[in-house]
């Protein structure tokens, strides 16, 4: 019952077949109805009845003709009543001789009015019933057949009922084989479902494709692609956890060592040195934890709706925020931009790009150097550039620096190795491209983030 209440291919197939049979019923009924209307206009079938009856009377005298017509009257109406879809009313017959005397009249219709009173369409009303009047005559006899008028609604109902009977007989011979074919056709899919259900949660090996069913190949291929992505993602997460644990070991070991030194310091100078080292270790560990949380939020949080932001104002706020870090190294911060640049962007993602690029430039630049931030709106694109005067990044490392925990050999051991990974993830949320170039006219590196400007 559950399969029939919910979405089901089997149910959909059966319903489609029923709809097709319903359409066939409508089309055939309409076709027969149009044939009936044509027959009514031509009076062909009624004319044949009258002509056949008149032909049977040839060579008979009045008494014989009366007996023969009585038999024909009973036979035609008996057949009419016993038909599978009997039309209402009875056929009426009236036979007159050449001199106009009445030889035979159907009891139900006698006495008959003059048939010449029929309308131009050949209809006449008699005893509350409308009839089509058909007249056939020869040198001896004049035969009039009165046929009850069948309305369009009645005719359509009779025709539809007649065709429906045949379709109901054919229904099980059409629907059941098709339903069986669908059920058997879905058997490999059910087998594939059981194969997946039996798997362990950590089993990400490729699925086996059921042989001989080319229709399932795209499904299995797509599932295997998804499993491959899951394996890759799991490997990245395992690597991330291992790297994070390894990276946090050093600052935590420093914290533990300096805490021990602080607790057993013999003089004030030793105590103050241990305290400064302890604070630096705690600060470094805290910074790494914050960046790990930031990176996790970027990879798993939903995208924020874009909002109108003044990029110049955001850049100024970022430089003010990082001014103490620059001052500690004797570096200067500069901003090259117009007075205002309004754009509709993911503000949180853009702020992460700015903070991490500027922090990275300060950390990897020379002491007493300069960091320059520029904003350019040109050709329907916005470009944010951050330039430092550090040792630069070799060309073969420019793709690797965006990996988590990667540190360029030219930068020593500065930084956590997460800043540029955060920049890359945040840039993806901005639909932006990140590129690296040498600083024009001198030593250093330029990081450029470019994205389409809002319309």
Query: Which range, of 101-105, 255-259, 378-382, averages the lowest pLDDT?
Result: 255-259
Kindly report the number of other CB atoms within 10 A of residue 161's CB atom.
12
| Contact between residue 354 and residue 409 where contact means Cβ atoms under 8 Å apart | no
Segment 275-304 mean pLDDT: 66
Residue 411 near residue 364, CB atoms below 8 Å: yes
Instruction: Name the residue ranges covered by the structural domains of the chain.
Output: 43-150, 214-297, 305-452
| Residue of higher predicted confidence among 269 and 316 | 316
List, in order, residues 6 or more apart from 432 with CB less than 8 Å away. 353, 449, 450, 451
Q: Could you give the 3-state DSSP secondary structure of residue 83?
A: coil
User: Any residues with CB less than 8 A from the CB of 265 and at least 6 apart, and which?
Assistant: 271, 274
3-state secondary structure of 122: coil
**Measured CA angle at 130 (ends 128, 134), to 5 deg:** 135
The SS3 call for residue 68 is: helix
Q: What is the pLDDT of residue 312?
A: 93
Q: What is the pLDDT of residue 416?
A: 55
CA angle 274, 245, 424 (to 5 degrees): 105
Q: Is 148 helix (H, G, I), strand (E, B) or coil?
A: strand
Residue of 236, 446, 428 lying closest to 349 (CA atoms): 428
* Span 250-281, pLDDT tens digits: 667 767 777 777 777 778 887 787 777 777 77
Which of 66-70, 394-398, 408-412, 446-450 has the lowest average pLDDT? 408-412
**Torsions phi, psi for 118 (to 5 deg):** -65, 150
Integer Cα distance of 146 and 124 in angstroms: 9
* β-pair partners for 433: 450
> pLDDT category, 374, cuts 50, 70, 90?
very high
pLDDT on residue 52 = 85
Architecture of 305-452 per CATH? 2-Layer Sandwich (3.30)
Q: Give mean pLDDT, residues 158-168.
A: 82
The CATH number of the structural domain formed by 43-150 is 3.30.450
pLDDT value of position 289: 67
**Sequence-separated (6 or more) residues with CB below 8 Å from residue 153:** none
Instruction: Give CA–CA dist 190/305, Å, rounded.
Output: 41
Whole-model pTM over 0.85 = no
3-class secondary-structure state, position 201: coil
- Please give the structure tokens belonging to residue 227: 């499993």
Would you state the pLDDT for residue 1?
46
Q: What's the token pair of residue 20?
A: 């097709």
Strand pairing report for 445-452 and 381-387: antiparallel
- CATH T-level topology, domain 214-297: Helix Hairpins (1.10.287)
Q: Chain-wide mean pLDDT for the chain?
A: 79
**φ and ψ at residue 447, rounded to 5 degrees:** -100, 125
For the chain, what is the total number of helices (H) and then of strands (E)? 12, 12
CA distance 410 to 388: 14
Q: Given pLDDT bands bounded at 50, 70 and 90, which one contains residue 314?
A: very high
């Amino acid at each position: 019952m559950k399969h029939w209440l919910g979405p089901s291919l089997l149910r959909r197939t059966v319903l489609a077949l029923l709809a097709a049979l319903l359409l066939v019923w409508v089309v055939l009924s309409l076709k027969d109805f149009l044939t009936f209307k044509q027959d009514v206009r031509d009076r062909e079938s009624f004319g044949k009845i009258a002509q056949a009856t008149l032909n049977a009377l040839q060579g008979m005298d009045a008494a014989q003709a009366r007996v023969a017509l009585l038999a024909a009257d009973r036979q035609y109406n008996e057949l009419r009543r016993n038909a599978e879809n009997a039309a209402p009313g009875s056929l009426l017959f009236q036979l007159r001789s050449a001199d106009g005397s009445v030889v035979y009249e159907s009891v139900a219709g006698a006495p008959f009015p003059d048939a010449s009173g029929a309308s131009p369409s050949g209809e006449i009303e008699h005893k509350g019933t409308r009839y089509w009047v058909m007249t056939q005559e020869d040198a001896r006899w004049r035969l009039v057949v009165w046929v009850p008028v069948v309305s369009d609604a009645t005719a359509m109902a009779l025709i539809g009922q007649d065709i429906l009977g045949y379709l109901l007989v054919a229904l099980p011979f059409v629907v059941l084989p098709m339903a069986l074919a669908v059920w058997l056709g879905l058997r490999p899919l059910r087998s594939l479902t059981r194969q997946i259900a039996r798997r362990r949660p950590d089993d990400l090996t490729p699925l086996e494709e059921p042989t001989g069913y080319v229709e399932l190949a795209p499904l299995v291929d797509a599932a295997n692609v998804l499993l491959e992505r899951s394996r890759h993602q799991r490997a990245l997460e395992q690597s991330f956890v291992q790297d994070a644990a390894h990276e946090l070991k050093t600052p935590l070991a420093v914290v533990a060592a300096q805490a021990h030194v602080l607790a057993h310091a013999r003089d004030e100078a030793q105590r103050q040195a241990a305290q400064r080292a302890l604070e630096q270790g705690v600060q470094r560990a805290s910074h790494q934890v914050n960046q790990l949380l930031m990176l996790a939020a970027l990879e798993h949080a939903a995208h924020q709706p874009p909002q109108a932001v003044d990029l110049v104002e955001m850049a100024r706020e970022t430089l003010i925020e990082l001014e103490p870090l620059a001052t500690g190294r004797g570096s200067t911060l500069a901003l090259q931009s117009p007075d205002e640049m309004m754009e509709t962007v993911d503000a949180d993602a853009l702020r992460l790009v700015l903070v991490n690029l500027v922090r990275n430039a300060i950390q990897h630049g020379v002491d007493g150097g300069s960091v320059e931030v520029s904003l350019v709106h040109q050709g329907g694109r916005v470009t944010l550039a951050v330039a430092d005067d550090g040792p630069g990044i070799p060309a073969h490392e420019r793709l690797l620096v965006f990996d988590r925990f990667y540190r360029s050999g030219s930068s020593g051991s500065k930084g956590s190795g997460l800043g540029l990974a955060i920049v890359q993830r945040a840039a993806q949320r901005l639909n932006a491209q990140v590129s690296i170039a040498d600083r024009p006219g001198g030593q250093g590196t330029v990081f450029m983030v470019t994205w389409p400007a809002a319309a």
